[in-house]
Amino acid sequence: MKKILLLLLLTAVVFSYAGATVIEVGSNKMIKNIREAINKAKPYDTIVVYGGIYKEKQIKIEKPLTLIGRNNPILDGEHQYEILNIQANNVRITGFTFQNTGISSMEDLAAIKVSNVKNVIIEDNKVINAFFGIYFAHCKKSVVRNNVLTATAKEEHQIGNGIHMWQSDSMHIAGNHISGHRDGIYFEFVTNSLIENNRSDYNLRYGLHFMFSHDDTYKNNYFGKNGAGVAVMYTKGVKMLNNFFEENWGDASYGLLLKDIRDSEVLGNQFIKNSIAIYMEGSSRILFKQNVFKENGYGIRLQASCDENDFVRNNFQLNTFDIATNGNLVLNRINGNFWDRYEGYDLNKDGVGDVPYRPVSLYAMVVERVPAAVLLWRSFLVFLIDRAEKALPVVTPENLKDESPSMRPYDFTK
Amino acid sequence: MGRILKYVFYDLLKTRFLLFYTLFLFVSTFAMFQLDSDPNKVILSLMSIVLMVMPLISIVFATIHFYNSYEFIELMLAQPIDRKVVFLSEYLGVALSLSSAFLLGTGIPILFYGVSDSAVMLLVVGTLLTIVFVSLAFLSSVLTRDKAKAIGIALLFWFYFSLIYDGLLLWVIYTFSDYPLEKVTLALVSLNPVDLGRIMMLLTLDVSALMGYTGAFYRAFFGSYAGLVFSVGILLLWIFVPTYFSIRIFSRKDL
């Protein structure tokens, strides 16, 4: 009985595929423009678009279709329109180049806008100089994969976000490269989603901007040289795994900004050459493990509003300040990290230092209060007062210490 | 002048101190490069030598040397030679030999292990600071007739510029923290050659220290070409002004 059912199912599938036709669009084909092809197509048909420049304003897709670009067809918005608007489930767009959408401060004009649908796949496309790149609102179970988005705006108000997601669920964003937009990837009210293997750099504001987006994971992404780094705010249950945060330089620039985050994990990330690797406020119950903090201005700026966070097995190397804080009450746990400034000893040779390490220096507290004091960095005076404070803590929080610092840097490559 | 300068040089070489000094710098620089794989970290360690140890050695050595050659100076002045010439040859002899000792001692290992921006800056700052402190040493030497007193004044100079001044600066910054202090501190830093040298060095090798608005302001200023000219100019002033005053005092002094 089961076999017959399976057979029936298979034939049904085969027949439905046989029913789907392929419509070709191109300058030397029967159909010259995409809109006409879409009007003619039945649901689940495939439209193949051949190379050439197509200037059709706001193409709407209102039935499930597959659009495939061959030989790099270019869809041009002539600096005035939105290019593609998807309002149907099960649409797949692949192999196109989208360029020059309009710029508007009233509407969010996008190269590809998708709203109120599910199972949409946007794959292997190029988006050049769009206002918003790929825009999803109220969607489910959709995929944005291997797209390249570039823009060349100079000011934040002239440009929108690269991949913009709003009020969606179960999205998958992988392997995209976004640069020159306002925010590389923008998430607001997006839940249960996965962001992986993306590269987001040279964006004007954040590489990743992330708000009210619970239970998401982002891993193996690269965020570098963005105006203000990465911001993750007002969220619970985020997993940040094996990401790379690099060269986010500037006064208000953070490798990773954590604001009001709860019950999350920051594991295996690398923070290299940021002004502030992690800035956190109002965050609790976050586990920081196996991260590398190297050559940053601040390793972690831990505001006193954070509590019950755990910092274990991280490497702190060549940072100007490892940890800075603005209060004396310590509600976080710091344990078993490697600190390159640690000068303790290990009598029983178990690889764990026998005296605690205090990662907050007096000078860090001074600079936290009076930024102009940074001028005295590496002077003899600062060296002396830091030494004195280490011997006899008065100003720095007494309890902010690593009781079992590692003698050797951890090797996370293994 | 050339002849006197030559005698001063011979005299300095005879003490063998310079030889040891060069050798000390040479060996310690080499050792640091051997022990640490990261050349930037080596430059950082060398920086503390340049900012702390070298001014101390320069100022104490120059002061002692001045008093040791007091008889020679008196003898020279018995001849029909301008006081200025005698003084300047002594000054140049010490300044040139100390700075060349530094350049050879640290410069050769640096050349050997690779020249970078920060290494060049280290050599420039080191040389300028050496000469600045020789000038200060000569000033303290002409201020008094007593050798112990002169060394005391010299040490006070060193102590003041290395420690006390920074303490005062920190106090000023802390007290007036509610005001925009960027330009004021810029002026205040110019009043201390050691601080100026330190900031010039920091900008080439330790930019992550200079973050935030204040840091960005200093970076924009000192990091620019004009800023470099400014800081080198101020350091040159720190060489010329004490020398000018010590020549003035020396030429009018009753020896």
* pLDDT category of residue B9 using cuts at 50, 70 and 90: confident
How does the average pLDDT of chain B come out, rounded?
90
Residue B110 burial (10 A CB sphere; 0-12, 13-18, 19+): buried
Average pLDDT over residues B167-188: 88
Distance CA B11, CA B22 (A): 17
Q: How far apart are the first and last CA of chain B?
A: 20
Partner-chain contact A376 B185, CB within 8 Å = no
Amino acid identity, position B74: E
A376 reaches B (C-beta below 8 A): yes
Suggest the residue from A247, A300, A369, A379 to mutate for an interface test with chain B (most B CBs closer than 10 A). A379
Q: What pLDDT is recorded for position B130?
A: 96
Partner-chain contact A373 B170, CB within 8 Å = yes
Which tokens belong to B180? 């925009």
- Contact predicate A49/A68, CB 8 Å: yes
Which tokens belong to A39? 């009007």
- How far from A350 is each of A289, A313, A334, A339, A411, CA to CA, in Å? 20, 15, 19, 16, 16
B233 reaches A (C-beta below 8 A): no
A371 reaches B (C-beta below 8 A): yes
Within 8 A by CB and 6+ apart from A365, the residues are A324, A325, A395, A396
Looking at residue A373, the DSSP 8-state letter turns out to be: G
- How far from A364 is each of A296, A299, A314, A320, B202, CA to CA, in Å? 14, 11, 20, 9, 17
Q: What pLDDT is recorded for position A252?
A: 76
- Contact predicate A138/A166, CB 8 Å: yes
DSSP A335-400: ES-EETT-----TT-SSB-SS-B----HHHHHHHH-GGGGGGTT-HHHHHHHHHHHHS-SSS-TT-
B127 reaches A (C-beta below 8 A): no
DSSP B81-96: --HHHHHHHHHHHHHH
> Of the candidates B61, B51, B62, B50, which has an alpha carbon nearest to the alpha carbon of residue B25?
B50
Distance CA A352, CA A19 (A): 69
B163 reaches A (C-beta below 8 A): yes
* pLDDT category of residue B123 using cuts at 50, 70 and 90: very high
Partner-chain contact B213 A251, CB within 8 Å = yes
- How far does CA A200 lie from the centroid of its chain? 7
Q: What pLDDT is recorded for position A390?
A: 81
Overall domain count for chain B = 1
Which tokens belong to B72? 């020679």
A320 vs B contacts (CB less than 8 Å): 206, 208-209, 211
Which tokens belong to B90? 């002594």
Q: What pLDDT is recorded for position B99?
A: 94
B217 reaches A (C-beta below 8 A): no
Distance CA A134, CA A161 (A): 8
Suggest the residue from B208, B210, B219, B221 to mutate for an interface test with chain A (most A CBs closer than 10 A). B208
Partner-chain contact B209 A378, CB within 8 Å = yes
> Of the candidates A212, A217, A162, which has an alpha carbon nearest to the alpha carbon of residue A190?
A212
How far away is chain A from the Cα of B95, in angstroms, using its nearest Cα?
Answer: 24
Q: What pLDDT is recorded for position A282?
A: 94
**Strand, helix or coil at A336?**
coil
Distance CA B58, CA B52 (A): 11
B195 vs A contacts (CB less than 8 Å): 375-376, 379
Q: What pLDDT is recorded for position A136?
A: 96
pLDDT 10s digits, B227-242 = 889 999 999 999 999 9
Q: What pLDDT is recorded for position A199?
A: 96
A372 reaches B (C-beta below 8 A): yes
A369 reaches B (C-beta below 8 A): yes
What is the maximum alpha-carbon separation in chain B? 61
User: What is the number of other CB atoms lying within 10 angstroms of the CB of residue A77?
Assistant: 25
Cβ-nearest to B170 among A273, A318, A376: A376
Suggest the residue from B170, B175, B207, B222 to mutate for an interface test with chain A (most A CBs closer than 10 A). B170
Cβ-nearest to A297 among B52, B170, B211: B211
pLDDT 10s digits, B206-223 = 666 666 667 777 777 887
Within 8 A by CB and 6+ apart from A95, the residues are A68, A69, A70, A72, A73, A124, A125
Q: Which domain holds residue B38?
A: 2-252
Beta bridge partners of residue A128, listed in sequence order: A99, A150
How far away is chain A from the Cα of B107, in angstroms, using its nearest Cα?
Answer: 22
> Of the candidates A357, A367, A354, which has an alpha carbon nearest to the alpha carbon of residue A390?
A357
Helix H or strand E encompassing A294: strand A292-294
For chain A, which domains are there?
Answer: 21-391 (2.160.20.10)
Residue A242 burial (10 A CB sphere; 0-12, 13-18, 19+): middle
A297 vs B contacts (CB less than 8 Å): 208-209, 211-212
Distance CA A301, CA A277 (A): 8
- Helix (H), strand (E) counts: chain A: 4, 38
Count chain A–chain B contacts defined by CB atoms under 8 A.
90
B195 reaches A (C-beta below 8 A): yes
Partner-chain contact A377 B51, CB within 8 Å = no
Within 8 A by CB and 6+ apart from A62, the residues are A87, A88
B31 reaches A (C-beta below 8 A): no
Partner-chain contact A378 B47, CB within 8 Å = yes
Looking at residue A406, the DSSP 8-state letter turns out to be: B
**Residue pLDDT tens, chain A, 414 long:** 566 656 555 555 554 554 578 999 988 888 988 999 999 999 999 999 999 999 988 899 999 999 999 999 999 999 999 999 999 999 999 999 999 999 988 888 999 999 999 999 999 999 999 999 999 999 999 999 999 999 988 888 889 999 999 999 999 999 999 999 999 999 999 999 999 999 999 999 999 999 999 999 999 999 999 988 899 999 999 999 999 999 888 777 889 999 999 999 999 999 998 889 999 999 999 999 999 999 888 899 999 999 999 999 999 998 888 999 888 888 999 999 999 989 889 999 999 999 999 898 888 888 888 888 888 888 889 888 888 888 888 888 888 899 999 999 999 887
Partner-chain contact A320 B211, CB within 8 Å = yes
pLDDT 10s digits, B73-96 = 999 989 998 999 999 999 999 999
DSSP B101-134: HHHHHHHHHHHHH---HHHHHHHHHHHHHHHHHH
Phi/psi of residue B221, nearest 5 degrees: -80, -60
Residues 50-79, chain B: which have Cβ within 8 Å of A?
51-52
> Of the candidates A111, A122, A37, A115, which has an alpha carbon nearest to the alpha carbon of residue A77?
A111
B191 reaches A (C-beta below 8 A): no
Within 8 A by CB and 6+ apart from B61, the residues are B17, B21, B94, B98, B137
Return the top range by mean pLDDT from A84-93, B180-189, B196-205: A84-93
Looking at residue A227, the DSSP 8-state letter turns out to be: S
